[in-house]
């Protein structure tokens, strides 16, 4: 019995890293809530003010591995990575060659939905499968994705 009790802390220590990593990934509900919040802000404050908030790390729209991104009809207008702003939708490919932004534009034109692709997770710094939730905004869209 004493041996089993002595082994318990060691087993918990081994299990701890797995529970921390799982907790680092945001949920679908969190992503959808952040997207709804973003779309509301575009509607109440206008696109320019909203996009500035989305691009600002302290603007309330970048949380752990979640962030809002937006495209107009042709290019990125809001993104966690400021270097991506202005890049064309037609040039956005994942590592498999999928033109995911063009697919997102189509999804937005049909009222919104989801698009799956592979993308760099900002918290793990690894390319991982991602599903993004898309909602139309003006002539483009906004989205928030979760890593699978």
Taking only the tens place, the pLDDT of each residue in 130-145 is 999 999 999 999 999 9
User: 6 vs 2, 17, 53, 118, 128, CA distance in Å?
Assistant: 6, 20, 51, 43, 38
Say if 69 falls within a structural domain: yes
Say if 31 falls within a structural domain: yes
Domain containing 44 equals 26-147
Say if 55 falls within a structural domain: yes
CATH number where 67 lies: 3.30.450.20
- Number of separate domains in the chain: 1
pTM > 0.85: yes or no: no
Task: Encode pLDDT of 63-97 as tens digits.
Answer: 999 999 999 999 999 999 999 999 999 999 999 99
Element (H, E) at 137: strand 127-137
Say if 54 falls within a structural domain: yes
Say if 101 falls within a structural domain: yes
């Amino acid at each position: 019995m004493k041996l089993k009790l002595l082994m318990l802390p060691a087993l918990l220590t081994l299990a701890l890293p797995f529970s921390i990593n799982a907790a680092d990934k945001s949920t679908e509900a969190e992503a959808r809530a952040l997207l709804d919040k973003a779309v509301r802000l575009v509607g109440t404050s206008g696109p320019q003010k909203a996009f500035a908030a989305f691009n600002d790390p302290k603007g309330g729209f970048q949380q752990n591995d979640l962030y809002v991104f937006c495209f107009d009809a042709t290019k990125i207008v809001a993104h966690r990575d400021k270097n991506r702003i202005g890049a064309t939708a037609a040039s956005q490919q994942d590592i498999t060659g999928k033109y995911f932004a063009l697919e997102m534009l189509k999804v937005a034109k049909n009222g919104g939905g989801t698009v799956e692709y592979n993308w760099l997770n900002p918290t793990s710094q690894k390319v991982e499968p991602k599903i993004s939730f898309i909602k139309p905004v003006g002539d483009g869209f906004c989205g928030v994705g979760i890593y699978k």
